[in-house]
């Protein structure tokens, strides 16, 4: 009888409830690609440049390339899993169904740390850049300019979010094209056309260090956190799971091109990574150097405004993970309740808004940088393992090209993500371990409660 109760409890806690409403399907492939790109934000390379170039000893481009290697194999794995399991929850859902629900919970719990902190980071970065234009405004007031519209847009539904994303994407493209044009003009004026093509923007043997490069890659990965968010919107999408996966890959590749272009030109303009007055707003100094205060003001304003769209995507993805885990009773069902009119996970959205605002006020920016990556990398590792488990071992799809896609690609993604994970600072590792330990405690408590409920049912 104990085994029956245990099995029933496991099923009750770890399997989805069919009775819970589904999200409203409104997104097309184009919307998903834009959603991923907005989450990754083409201008995020500008906000991270100061910290990234310092930690990598001036090798921002190489840091992005190392991060891309890790992400491209992992993105392919997300695409495979999205085709097999097209459900909201992404990392959590894939690992639960391919390996085991308990590991799925830990994977979802780990990447939830990433999604909880990303909006905080974006709110704070955007507010800090806006303070360059309005220095007298306090941080806590400027943060509200981002938190309120983000929450309202997500509350009203994915269709509203997709429209906001489109406009914000056009604005970000305008900003980065404007910067590249001014940077190229400045370089040509100083050294001719040949100055546009210099190895110095990519590699400097005098300052290169493998440890510094890996540390830089762990920061560059922050820009890439978002391609996986496309798969969290699977239940909001009209297209098939396979197309959801392709949208994730497309958004990753397009965004990578723009990241590398920006940091390449920024490095050529100011190769001395120790010369910035402030690491947090280093790109403001670069923009002022190539285009004067006018360009600096435009780029800064667009970076600040783009924080709305990127935080919008981050909050939307976080709410879908909370919704999925609440729907499966891994978290309180409070998070699985949908708004009766808009069919959005309203409780999750509001809870994330409150947590995001408080976190942005109290947590220092360098600490946020270190904490975000570890949850994402752990989740990515779990998805790579899920592809091997589901397709190579369980389905035995091993012949020809399938050997490459179902074993070699996930192994490469696993290796590079694990290598970057080892390069994270001690404080990042410590907080990650604490977060996972809290997840284990919550999982143990949830399963225990479910067993009691099933036991009580059998005694009726």
Per residue in 38-67, pLDDT tens?
777 788 888 888 888 998 999 999 999 988
Q: Give the chain's end-to-end CA distance (angstroms, integer).
A: 14
Beta-bridged to residue 27, according to DSSP, are 237
Distance CA 328, CA 11 (A): 10
Q: Summarize the confidence of residues 355-382 as an average pLDDT.
A: 84
Examine the pLDDT at 237 and tell me if it is beyond 80: no
Q: Does domain 18-423 have CATH number 1.10.3720.10?
A: no
Contact 283, 306 (CB under 8 A): no
CA 242, CA 228: separation in Å to the nearest integer? 14
CA atoms within 13 A on the CB side of 386: 32
- The closest of 388, 86, 382, 126 to 236, measured between CA atoms, is 86
How would you label 60-96 residue by residue, b for 16+ Cβ within 10 Å and e otherwise?
Answer: bbbbbbbbbbbbbbbbbbbbbbbebbbbbbbbbbbbb
Distance CA 313, CA 307 (A): 10
Q: Do 398 and 66 form a contact (C-beta atoms < 8 A)?
A: no
CA 452 – CA 238 distance, rounded (Å): 39
Cα-based angle 99, 104, 109 (whole degrees, multiple of 5): 160
Q: Which of 19-23, 87-91, 120-124, 311-315 has the lowest mean pLDDT?
A: 19-23
pTM, rounded to two decimals: 0.73
Contact between 286 and 266 under an 8 Å Cβ cutoff? The reply is yes
Question: Chain-wide mean pLDDT for the chain?
Answer: 81
Q: Is the backbone of residue 198 left (phi > 0), alpha (psi -120 to 50) or beta?
A: beta
Residue 48 is predicted with a pLDDT of 84
Neighbours of 423 (CB within 10 A): 17
| CA–CA separation, 321 and 20 (whole Å) | 15
Q: Which residues of 296-326 are buried (b: 16+ CB within 10 A; e: fewer)?
A: bbbbbbbbbbbbbbbbbbbbbbbbbbbbbbb
Residue 24 scores a pLDDT above 70 = no
Domain ranges of the chain: 18-423
Closest by Cα among 280, 321, 298 to 439:
321
- Mean pLDDT of all residues in 163-185: 84
CA proximity to 384, closest of 363, 412, 343: 412
Range of lowest pLDDT (211-225, 238-252, 349-363): 238-252
User: CA–CA separation, 318 vs 282, rounded Å?
Assistant: 29
In angstroms, the CA 373 to CA 360 distance is 17
């Amino acid at each position: 009888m104990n085994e029956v109760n245990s099995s029933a409890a496991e099923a009750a806690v770890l399997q989805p409830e069919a009775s819970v409403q589904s999200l409203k399907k409104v997104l097309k492939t184009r919307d998903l690609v834009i959603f991923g790109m907005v989450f990754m934000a083409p201008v995020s390379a500008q906000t991270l440049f100061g910290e990234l170039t310092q930690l990598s000893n001036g090798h921002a481009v190489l840091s992005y390339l190392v991060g891309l290697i890790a992400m491209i194999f992992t993105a392919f794995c997300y695409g495979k899993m999205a085709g097999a399991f097209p459900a909201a929850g992404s990392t959590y859902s894939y690992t639960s169904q391919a390996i085991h629900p308990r590991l799925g919970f830990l994977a979802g719990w780990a990447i939830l740390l990433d999604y909880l902190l990303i909006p905080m980071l974006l709110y704070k970065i955007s507010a800090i850049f806006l303070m360059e234009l309005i220095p007298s405004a306090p941080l806590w007031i400027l943060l509200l300019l981002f938190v309120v519209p983000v929450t309202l847009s997500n509350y009203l539904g994915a269709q509203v979010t997709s429209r906001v994303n489109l406009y914000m994407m056009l604005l970000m493209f305008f900003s980065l094209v404007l910067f590249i044009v001014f940077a190229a003009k400045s370089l040509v004026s100083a050294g001719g056309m040949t100055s546009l093509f210099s190895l110095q923007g990519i590699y400097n043997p005098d300052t290169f260090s493998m440890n510094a490069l890996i540390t830089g890659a762990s920061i560059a990965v922050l820009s890439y956190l978002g391609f996986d968010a496309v798969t969290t919107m699977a239940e909001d999408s009209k297209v098939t799971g396979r197309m959801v996966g392709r949208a994730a890959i497309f958004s990753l590749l397009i965004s990578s091109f723009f990241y590398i272009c920006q940091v390449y030109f920024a490095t050529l303009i100011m190769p001395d990574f120790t010369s910035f007055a402030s690491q947090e707003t280093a790109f403001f100094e670069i923009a002022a150097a190539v285009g004067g205060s006018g360009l600096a003001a435009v780029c800064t304003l667009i970076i600040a405004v783009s924080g709305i769209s990127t935080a919008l995507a981050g909050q939307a993805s976080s709410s879908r993970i909370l919704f999925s885990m609440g729907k499966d009773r891994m978290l309180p069902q409070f998070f699985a309740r949908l708004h009766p009119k808009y069919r959005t996970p309203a409780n999750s959205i509001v809870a994330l808004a409150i947590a995001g605002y408080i976190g942005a006020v109290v947590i220092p920016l360098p600490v946020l940088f270190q904490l975000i990556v570890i949850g994402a990398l752990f989740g990515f590792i779990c998805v790579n393992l899920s592809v091997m488990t589901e397709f190579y071992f369980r389905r035995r799809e091993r012949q020809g090209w399938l050997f490459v896609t179902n074993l070699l690609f996930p192994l490469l993604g696993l290796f590079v993500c694990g290598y970057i994970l080892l390069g994270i600072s001690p404080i990042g590792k410590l907080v990650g371990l604490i977060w996972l330990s809290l997840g284990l405690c919550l999982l143990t408590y949830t399963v225990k409660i479910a067993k009691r409920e099933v036991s009580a049912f059998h005694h009726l």
